[in-house]
Amino acid sequence: MKPPIAMTSPLQGASNFRDVGGYITQDGRRVKRGQVFRSDHLAGLTADDVLQVQGMGLTHSLDFRGVAECAATPYDIAGVQRVALSIEPSVIAKMQALVAQGIEPTTEETVELMRGTYRDFVNHNADTFGRFLKHLLAHSTPQVFHCTAGKDRTGFAAALLLSALGVDRATIEHDYLLTNQLYRRDPHIEGKGPAHVMKVLWQVQPAFLHAAFEAVDQQGGMQDYLHGPIGLDTHEVQDLRDWLLQA
């Protein structure tokens, strides 16, 4: 059965904003809509966008952007508390270091850099992603999580959440790849670089997400990863499912 298209909101200032609900879990339950949303950055919201976001009852925005990204595109939405879960965009630094050496990565090398970034999410940023899941659970109110484009840090966070809820990987990949249909690239945020490199950096590919899942599997699989590095115990995973799943 083809997964449902995620519900998107017609926000003018955010192109990759969407509900993570609606997907069916492997035991036949459905992820509730209207509770958890994913997005690109929220600094470009119009006044009408803000009213729409406030009307969703959002209480928190969980921001995965790094320090410089937040400073470059700050935002403040009345009634919505921003929570910093900073993960610095290391792939950009690596790319800049190569360019400084006069090295122009090939498409294949750029893909491998991105795959390395996703392995790092699993192996080096588990504490931050654990805080993300624990924050969702602690408040049990409508929340949105995002980074700059809503594709990599946000994409892995969504994959982790949907995995914890029992959604299969093919469906998770479907949700992940929707970014390529929704995200509007912004050259002011992207910076400059060879076209073939920028195309890889500002889109998503199955190979990126697969690298993360491979790294998870090397640690014993998703359940071991959730209970180990992510830091959720059995009761917390069940509480997350009780909140976000419906029959």
* pLDDT surpasses 70 at 1: no
Rounded CA-CA distance 130/232 in Å is 7
Q: What is the mean pLDDT of residues 113-138?
A: 97
User: What is the pLDDT at residue 100?
Assistant: 77
Q: How confident is the model at residue 4 (pLDDT cuts 50, 70, 90)?
A: low
User: What predicted TM-score, i.e. pTM, was given to this entire model?
Assistant: 0.94
Domain ranges of the chain: 18-246
Phi, psi of 16 (to 5 degrees): -115, 30
Q: What is the mean pLDDT of residues 202-222?
A: 97
What is the maximal distance between C-alpha atoms in the chain?
Answer: 56
pLDDT tens-digit profile of 136-195?
999 989 999 999 999 999 999 999 999 999 999 999 999 999 999 999 988 778 777 788
Q: How confident is the model at residue 3 (pLDDT cuts 50, 70, 90)?
A: low
User: What is the pLDDT at residue 136?
Assistant: 97
Q: In the predicted model, what is the mean pLDDT of the chain?
A: 93
User: What is the pLDDT at residue 8?
Assistant: 64
How many percent of the chain have pLDDT more than 90? 82
Q: What is the mean pLDDT of residues 5-28?
A: 88
User: What is the pLDDT at residue 5?
Assistant: 55
User: What is the pLDDT at residue 7?
Assistant: 61
CATH number among 3.20.20.70, 1.10.101.10, 3.40.50.300, 3.90.190.10, domain 18-246:
3.90.190.10
* pLDDT surpasses 60 at 54: yes
